[in-house]
């Protein structure tokens, strides 16, 4: 066969066709076919459960009388204070996720999970010590908890993406969001039940909020212990030069022999990508290649900088950062954090009724996330994001209209029409939860985990996740005051953000369905001479490791073939 060139793109297409012929099914059938990988991803997604439970639990606890007495707050009557009590976790998470971009590469994915769980547990213990009307325990504890939660929010989708085959990668990464929504649902109904311990008034027991707050330590400890028995990420092993272990993990995950074509194809793709990244590192950063601790740290900083200085990487970074910005400004965490108070504001009086309505939000979001896990790799990313944003925008506009019309009528003795309108608004908030559950909840994390190359993936995902937390912090801090000043204006603003997000996805976000993490290099490449040269270097790396020969795209000469066979043999017998 004629040699593959960078300009024609034929090698890329032929490689995709070869992989498709070897790969299994997508969707639910693919999850069953890759049962081992699916089980590992489900267990790792317990990190999402920890995050989701904490997210839903605190909004419910805020409305409990015994917690208000212990922490020195009075519900959400002080919007700024309530916003800070909630948002301080997001600030800690933002710092944690940025730090984890370095530690995930340095310590590995598994050990990073253990460290994050330990930090999370310390933060929960500090919060549980709250007493005497002193909310400093909550501020300090939630900040420390945020450090752990932020790390988990970054490391779990990264780990799941790196163990997943291309045909089920979207589904396995989406498990993170399914676990988050499951945690939210559990927290809503658990706090609904514990709210009645000792009564819902002044006699309410401290156990009403201590039980739901402390019980979240259990899944964190299970995750920290269990992750040690899970396989290491084959991509991280490759990045550390542990090629034989990487091949063994891939074969184990795919339940095939190391010499099988599918395992060899995936392994050689990783090997070619690593070789390419090493060559690019030596080319762009020749002065920090001595592998000392100082040079590795400087190289990490230089790679963070390259996420913005290189045009192709800038496109990746903007997609990751903006998809998380729009995810948060759909208003989802405004709904989750302040759901009891939102339902009270639209005429659903009584703490028990508002907590019950909040519980339905959790159930609706969880159930809606299940189809995304099963079919996201069939539907594609862009249609899901666009449709979800449109539905959420409509829900915001309808709720805004109802509040504008009936806000003055909700009081001690609302009319029947005002009460009915309140329940209609409640239904549209539930519909909003459904729309977010199947669309922006899981898909935004999938996009962020897909768009970065191997050597920059941990740092790139950390930037995307940090955008999530920074915007989460902004939402939690600003919306209580916003709603107090303009009850229906806040919903109009959030609805407009949904519309703008849909337009941005349509015009600027590429479809990543069905592509391997390494194929996405071509999607984000520009037309400059640098990109053409880099594409040629990528093809050369694929040729040097024997990938093009294995895929029958081109056959190397006898010397190169012998070198390729030697490399394979050495890998098997190291």
216-240 pLDDT, tens digit each:
999 999 999 999 999 999 989 998 8
Distance CA(201)–CA(64), nearest Å, equals 8
**Percent of the chain with pLDDT strictly greater than 90:** 29
Among 551, 392, 379, which residue's Cα sits nearest to residue 4?
A: 551
* HEC string for 126-171: HHHCCCCCCCHHHHHHHHHHHHHHHHHHHHHHHHHHHHCCHHHHHH
Stronger pLDDT, 484 or 421, i.e. the higher one: 421
264 or 99: which leads in pLDDT = 264
What does the pLDDT look like over 392-431, one tens digit per residue?
999 999 999 998 888 777 766 677 788 888 888 889 999 9
Residue scoring higher pLDDT (4 or 548): 548
Residue-averaged pLDDT of the chain = 82
Is the separation of the CB atoms in 269 and 518 below 8 Å? yes
Q: Which residues contact residue 139 at a Cβ distance below 8 angstroms, ignoring those fewer than 6 apart?
A: 84, 85, 88
Question: What span, in angstroms and rounded, lies between the C-alpha atoms of 211 and 53?
Answer: 13
pLDDT of residue 559: 45
pLDDT at 571 over 70: no
Residue 112: per-residue pLDDT: 93
Distance between CA atoms of residues 79 and 73, nearest Å: 11
Residues 156-211 pLDDT 10s = 888 888 888 877 877 787 787 788 889 988 988 898 889 889 887 778 899 999 99
pLDDT of residue 347: 65
Per the model's pLDDT, the better-predicted residue between 565 and 410 turns out to be 410
Structure-token match 């490449």, residue found: 525
Residue 183 exposure: Cα atoms within 13 Å on the Cβ side: 28
CA atoms within 13 A on the CB side of 446: 36
Residue 453 has pLDDT above 90, yes or no: no
Residues 173, 367, 170, CA angle at the centre, nearest 5°?
Answer: 20
**Statement: residue 574 has pLDDT above 80:** no
- In this predicted structure, what is the pLDDT of residue 230? 93
Domains and CATH numbers, the chain: 22-234+309-508 (1.20.1250.20)
Q: What's the rounded Cα separation, in Å, for the pair 398 and 291?
A: 58
Q: Render the burial of 178-191: b for 16+ CB within 10 Å, e for the rest.
A: bbbbbbbbbbbbbb
pLDDT given at position 371: 87
| 436: pLDDT strictly greater than 90 | yes
CA distance 213 to 182: 16
Pick 435 or 334 by higher pLDDT: 435
More confident residue, 348 or 493: 493
**HSE-up of residue 217 (Cα within 13 Å, Cβ side):** 15
Least confident range from 135-144, 206-215, 547-556, 561-570: namely 561-570
* pLDDT reading at 84 higher than 50: yes
CA 239 to chain centre: 22
165 contacts: CB under 8 Å, gap ≥ 6: 23, 24, 30, 34, 37, 253, 254, 266
**pLDDT tens-digit map of 251-288:** 999 889 999 988 999 899 889 988 988 888 888 888 88
**Cα 222 to Cα 527: distance, rounded to the nearest angstrom:** 48
**pLDDT tier for residue 10 given thresholds of 50, 70 and 90:** low
Rounded to whole angstroms, the Cα distance separating 485 from 490 reads: 9
Inter-CA distances, 289 with 105, 241, 296, Å: 16, 15, 8
Residues in contact with 227: Cβ distance below 8 Å, sequence separation at least 6, in sequence order: 43, 44, 110, 113, 114
Phi, psi (rounded to 5 degrees) for 136? -60, -35
Over residues 17-31, mean pLDDT: 72
For residue 531, the model assigns a pLDDT of 56
**pLDDT digits 0-9 by tens, 488-521:** 898 999 999 999 999 999 999 988 887 765 566 6
Confidence band for 572, pLDDT divided at 50, 70 and 90: very low
60 band by pLDDT with thresholds 50, 70 and 90: confident
The pLDDT of residue 435 is above 90:
yes
For the chain, what is the largest distance between any 2 Cα atoms, rounded to a whole number of angstroms? Answer: 89
The residue behind tokens 């419910």 is 60
CA distances from 498 to 187, 319, 493 (A): 27, 16, 9
pLDDT higher than threshold 70 for residue 21: yes
Our measurement of the distance from residue 430's CA atom to the centroid of its chain's CA atoms, rounded to an integer in Å, reads: 22
Of 79 and 318, the structure prediction assigns the larger pLDDT to: 318
| Long-range contacts of residues 121-130, Cβ cutoff 8 Å, at least 24 apart | 121/148, 121/217, 121/220, 121/221, 122/148, 123/92, 123/147, 123/148, 124/213, 124/214, 124/216, 124/217, 124/220, 125/217, 127/213, 128/210, 128/213, 128/214, 130/67, 130/70, 130/71
CA–CA separation, 63 and 87 (whole Å): 16
Nearest to 557 by CA among 546, 567, 542, 568: 546
HSE toward the beta carbon, residue 222, CA cutoff 13 A: 12
The per-residue b/e assignment along 221-233, b for 16 or more CB within 10 angstroms, e otherwise, is eebbeebeebbbb
Closest by CA position to 485, among listed 426, 414, 407, 427: 407
Residues 138-161: what's their mean pLDDT? Answer: 89
**If you average pLDDT over each of 262-276, 287-301, 526-540, which comes out highest?**
262-276
- Does pLDDT of 241 surpass 80? yes
C-alpha 8 chain-centroid distance: 35
CA distances (Å), origin 163, targets 51, 167, 264, 568: 21, 12, 15, 21
In this predicted structure, the answer to whether residue 76 has a pLDDT above a threshold of 50 is: no
Is 231 in contact with 249 (CB distance < 8 Å)? Answer: yes
Burial class of residue 291 (count of CB atoms within 10 Å of its CB; 0-12, 13-18, 19+)? exposed
- pLDDT score of 517: 55
- Using the structure block, give the residue that is written with the tokens 């043999």: 569
CB 220 within 8 A of CB 237: no
């Amino acid at each position: 066969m004629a040699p593959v060139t960078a300009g024609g793109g034929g090698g890329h297409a032929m490689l995709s066709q070869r992989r498709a012929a070897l790969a299994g099914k997508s969707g639910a059938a693919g999850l069953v076919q890759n049962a081992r990988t699916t089980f590992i991803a489900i267990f790792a997604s317990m990190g999402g459960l920890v995050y989701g439970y904490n997210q839903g639990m605190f909004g419910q606890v805020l409305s409990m009388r015994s917690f208000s007495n212990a922490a020195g707050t009075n519900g959400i009557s002080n919007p700024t204070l309530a916003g800070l009590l909630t948002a301080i976790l997001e600030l800690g998470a933002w710092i944690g996720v940025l730090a984890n971009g370095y530690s995930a590469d340095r310590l590995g994915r598994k050990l990073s999970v253990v460290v994050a769980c330990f930090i999370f547990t310390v933060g929960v213990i500090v919060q549980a010590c709250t007493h005497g009307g002193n909310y400093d325990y909550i501020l300090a504890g939630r900040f420390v908890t945020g450090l752990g939660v932020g790390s988990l929010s970054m490391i779990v989708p990264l780990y799941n993406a790196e163990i997943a085959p291309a045909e089920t990668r979207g589904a396995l990464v989406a498990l993170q969001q399914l676990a988050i929504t499951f945690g939210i649902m559990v927290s809503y109904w658990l706090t609904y039940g514990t709210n009645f311990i000792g009564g819902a008034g002044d006699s309410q027991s401290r156990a009403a909020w201590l039980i739901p707050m402390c019980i979240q330590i259990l899944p964190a400890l299970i995750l920290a212990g269990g992750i040690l028995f899970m396989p290491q990420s084959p991509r991280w092993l490759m990045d550390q030069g542990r090629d034989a272990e990487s091949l063994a993990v891939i074969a184990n995950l795919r339940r095939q022999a190391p010499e099988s074509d599918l395992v060899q194809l995936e392994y050689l793709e990783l090997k070619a990508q690593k070789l390419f990244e090493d060559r690019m590192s030596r080319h762009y950063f020749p002065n920090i290649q001595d592998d000392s601790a100082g040079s590795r740290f400087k190289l990490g900083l230089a790679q963070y900088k390259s996420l913005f200085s290189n045009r192709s990487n800038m496109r990746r970074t903007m997609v990751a950062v903006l998809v998380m910005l729009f995810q948060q400004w759909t208003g989802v965490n405004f709904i989750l954090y302040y759901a009891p108070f939102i339902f009270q504001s639209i005429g659903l009086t009584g703490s028990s009724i508002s907590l019950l309505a909040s519980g339905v939000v959790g159930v609706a979001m969880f159930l809606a996330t299940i189809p995304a896990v099963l079919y996201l790799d069939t539907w594609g990313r862009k249609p899901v994001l666009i449709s979800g944003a449109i539905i959420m925008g409509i829900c915001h506009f309808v709720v805004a209209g109802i509040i504008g019309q009936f806000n003055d009528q909700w009081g001690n003795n609302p009319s029947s029409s005002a009460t009915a309108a309140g329940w209609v608004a409640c239904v549209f908030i539930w519909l909003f939860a459904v729309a977010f559950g199947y669309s922006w909840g899981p898909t935004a994390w999938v996009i962020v985990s897909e768009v970065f190359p191997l050597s920059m993936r941990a740092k790139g995902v950390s930037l995307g996740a940090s955008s999530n937390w920074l915007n989460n912090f902004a939402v939690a801090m600003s919306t209580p005051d916003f709603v107090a000043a303009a009850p229906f204006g806040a919903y109009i603003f959030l609805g407009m953000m949904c519309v703008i997000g849909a337009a941005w996805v349509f015009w600027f976000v590429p479809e990543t369905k069905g592509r391997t993490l390494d194929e996405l290099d071509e999607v984000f490449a520009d037309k400059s001479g640098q990109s053409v040269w880099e594409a040629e270097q990528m093809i050369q790396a694929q040729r040097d490791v024997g990938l093009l020969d294995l895929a029958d795209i081109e056959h190397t000469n006898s010397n190169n073939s012998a070198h390729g066979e030697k490399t394979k043999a050495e890998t098997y017998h190291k």
